[in-house]
């Protein structure tokens, strides 16, 4: 079952809680920024091309992708000025997501993007930054051969191309890898991720020039053991618990609950390294990890109320999960489900504070 397309099926519902989710992703982009800047400097120390071609994969419909692109263009400009190097004359920017993505929402933000960029790097340079949308799955070819100098992706590559089929029979009562690990569930997820991430690397290796650079940020897990994972998987477990409540209240059928699994995989760093090494098109220049509070408001100010945090976290997860849940179960009980979910998260927060564990990797395409 190809479930990834339903990520965009319910755009209106996404918008209502997008703010929380966008805040999380922006926090992640800011925390990964140092690796991005170092990568630009490394790449630029050999000279930039006349037209710098870059892509953001899984750009979504919020403001983060253009914020990120502005960061890259500013970063290139500042580095060239500091080192007295020739900056690119032109930038060609490709924003990719699945075909159902609301690309128009992103395009409507371009006037503001150009106006900000003009303030940073001047009108002549900013008007030579050409933006276009590229609909399609990043597990397939998206660009011509040897055409990209720089690829970026944040919070997208942990989405699988499909739910592993084997899970239907073996993961009843769970929606992700449970704490007590039923035989085969972890393997099914890991094998799917290995196939998908290998395909992702292979496609990019065809599309990128030799020595082109790629920076990827993914949600991961902090331990090699998938069963004793204390990261955001708790949040998926609590979502399963809330769905279970809906079964108990007769709002959803047990068989529908049993046949739902998340198309996400949270890998650990060793797994990522092993896949990159075995695919063999890229070298790893940097690999760093960092945690982000699940209530991202805590990054700047301490939020006192567990209940307020519980609601905030529930809204963050709702923004991402609701389209998928609604497509599987129907959307009549979503408010009730996420009220219950906020309650379970609040209860959990009184015992421990879950974190999103993130992995950021900087890669160089090997010479052919």
- Does the protein bind ligand SAM through residue 44 (CB under 6 A)? no
The closest residue (CB) to ligand SAM is: 58
Would you say 272 or 320 has its CB closer to ligand SAM? 320
- Does the protein bind ligand SAM through residue 294 (CB under 6 A)? no
- Does the protein bind ligand SAM through residue 155 (CB under 6 A)? yes
Among 3, 4, 175, 359, binds ligand SAM (CB under 6 A): 4
How many Cβ atoms sit within 10 Å of the Cβ of residue 104? 9
Taking CB under 6 A as the criterion, which residues in 301-340 touch ligand SAM? 320
**In the complex, minimum distance from the CB of residue 73 to ligand SAM, in angstroms, rounded to a whole number:** 17
The structure tokens listed for 61 are: 């419909």
- Does the protein bind ligand SAM through residue 156 (CB under 6 A)? yes
Among 17, 154, 281, 358, binds ligand SAM (CB under 6 A): 154
Would you say 156 or 205 has its CB closer to ligand SAM? 156
Residue-by-residue DSSP string for 164-233: -TTHHHH-TT-SS--SS--TTHHHHHHHHHHHHHHHHHHHHHHHEEEEEEEEEEEEE-SSS-STT--STH
DSSP β-bridge partners for residue 351:
none
- Does the protein bind ligand SAM through residue 7 (CB under 6 A)? yes
* Edge-to-edge strands, sheet with 51-57: 129-135, 90-97, 51-57, 148-154, 208-220, 355-365, 282-293
Residue 184 Cα to chain centre, angstroms: 25
Contact, 261 vs 167, CB < 8 A? yes
Among 39, 64, 192, 229, binds ligand SAM (CB under 6 A): 64
- Does the protein bind ligand SAM through residue 103 (CB under 6 A)? no
**In the complex, minimum distance from the CB of residue 57 to ligand SAM, in angstroms, rounded to a whole number:** 6
List b or e across 274-311, with b for residues whose CB sees 16 or more CB atoms inside 10 angstroms: ebbeebebbeebebbebebbbbbebeeeeeeebeebbb
Name the site residues for ligand SAM (rule: CB under 6 A).
4, 7-8, 25, 29, 58-60, 62, 64-65, 96-98, 101, 137-139, 154-156, 159, 161, 320
């Amino acid at each position: 079952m190809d479930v990834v397309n339903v990520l965009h099926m319910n755009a209106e519902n996404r918008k209502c809680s997008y703010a929380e989710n966008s805040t999380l992703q922006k926090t992640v982009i800011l925390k990964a920024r140092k690796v991005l800047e170092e990568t630009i400097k490394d790449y630029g120390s050999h000279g930039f091309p006349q037209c710098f071609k870059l892509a953001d994969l899984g750009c979504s419909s919020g403001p983060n992708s253009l914020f990120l692109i502005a960061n890259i263009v500013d970063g290139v400009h500042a580095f060239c000025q500091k080192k007295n190097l020739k900056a690119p004359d032109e930038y060609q920017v490709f924003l990719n997501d699945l075909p159902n993505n609301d690309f128009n929402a992103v395009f409507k933000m371009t006037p503001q993007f150009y106006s900000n960029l003009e303030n940073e790097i001047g009108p002549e340079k900013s008007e030579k930054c050409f933006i276009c949308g590229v609909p399609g799955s990043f597990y397939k070819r998206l660009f011509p051969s040897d055409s990209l100098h720089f690829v970026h992706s944040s919070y997208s590559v942990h989405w699988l191309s499909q739910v592993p089929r084997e899970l239907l029979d073996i993961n009843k009562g769970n929606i992700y890898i449970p704490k007590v690990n039923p035989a085969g569930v972890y393997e099914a997820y890991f094998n799917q991720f290995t196939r998908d991430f290998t395909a992702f690397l292979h496609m990019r290796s065809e599309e990128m020039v030799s020595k082109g650079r790629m920076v990827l940020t993914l949600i991961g897990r902090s331990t090699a053991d998938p069963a004793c994972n204390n990261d955001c998987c708790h949040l998926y477990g609590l979502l399963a618990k809330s769905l279970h409540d809906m079964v108990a209240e007769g709002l959803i059928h047990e068989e529908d609950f049993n046949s739902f699994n998340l198309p996400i995989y949270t890998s650990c760093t060793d797994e990522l390294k092993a896949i990159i090494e075995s695919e063999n098109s890229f070298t790893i220049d940097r690999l760093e990890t960092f945690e982000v509070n699940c209530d991202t408001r805590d990054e700047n100010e301490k939020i006192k109320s567990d209940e307020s945090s519980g609601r905030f976290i529930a809204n963050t997860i709702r923004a991402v999960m609701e389209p998928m849940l609604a497509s599987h179960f129907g959307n009549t009980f979503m408010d009730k489900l996420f009220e219950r979910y906020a309650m379970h998260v609040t209860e959990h927060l009184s015992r421990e504070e879950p974190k999103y564990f993130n992995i950021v990797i900087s890669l160089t395409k090997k010479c052919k």
